[in-house]
Structure 1
Amino acid sequence: MKANPNRGEAEIVVAGETLRLRPSFTALVAAEEELGPLFALVERAAGGELRLGELVALFWHCLDPKPAKLTRERFGESIAGQGLAAATPVLRALLGQILQGR
């Protein structure tokens, strides 16, 4: 499924497959339950203190749909393997959505 940037969605490539990240209310609530307040997450990201595990958790909760055969561990390994430079534009898009609340 193609991402719609007007809805705050983003795309990331994992194992050669383009996946959509959709920061829906349900996804953000699940991320917040795991990671703590989203505003604090945004502050950590802005301060360069966001951990890789937090980034993967946010992305995982926003995956829509989650491929049936993709595990969170494999997803995280793929994100780490691509490097933070590849994940930064995606993170920026999701954090923008969190702050703007489209």
Structure 2
Amino acid sequence: MSAANRARGEAALELAGETLRLRPSFAALVAAEQELGPLFELVERAAAGKLSLSDMAGLFWHCLADAPEGLTRERLGEAIVEAGLAKLSPVLGSIIRQILGGR
């Protein structure tokens, strides 16, 4: 997988020995919004410390660019739990900054 390109708003997510590239493209964010609700509400939940694990996994899933073959949403969720929230907070913050500020 190629490295994350910060100029495109991408973030690198290290999970289960793989580097996943997250790209909050328009299509990815629309898909996330359809599942998780309005993006501003998602950001507000995150700011209030009320973002659920399901919300985080859903946002990451929709923002995945070039997912490795065989990666399922369930496996992504398991890898998120294995990694822990402290490790994932900077990646989540990067995606949220892109939602709020754009590229």
TM-score range, shorter chain: over 0.9
Which residue number corresponds to residue 81 of structure 1?
82
Which residue number corresponds to residue 57 of structure 1?
58
Shift of 1:6: 1.9
SS at match of 1:50: coil
Identity of aligned residues (%): 63
Q: For 1:1-102, what aligned pairs fall within 5 Å after superposition?
A: 1-102=2-103
For the residues of structure 2 that align with 1:14 and 1:75, how far apart are their CA atoms? 8
Runs (4 or more) in structure 1 with deviation over 3 Å come to: none
For the residues of structure 2 that align with 1:15 and 1:80, how far apart are their CA atoms? 10
Aligned-partner residue type, residue 60 of structure 2 = F
For the residues of structure 1 that align with 2:59 and 2:98, how far apart are their CA atoms? 12
> Any stretches of 5+ residues in structure 1 without a counterpart?
none
Shift of 1:67: 1.5
Higher deviation after alignment, 36-45 or 6-15: 6-15
SS at match of 1:42: helix
Aligned-partner residue type, residue 3 of structure 2 = K
Higher deviation after alignment, 90-99 or 11-20: 11-20
For the residues of structure 2 that align with 1:84 and 1:40, how far apart are their CA atoms? 20
What's the Cα RMSD here? 0.7
TM-score (norm 1): 0.97
**Once the two structures are superposed, what CA deviation does each residue of 1:62-98 show, in whole Å capped at 9, x if it has no partner?**
0001212101101110011111001100000000000
Aligned-partner residue type, residue 32 of structure 1 = E
> Any stretches of 5+ residues in structure 2 without a counterpart?
none
Number of residue pairs aligned between Structure 1 and Structure 2: 102
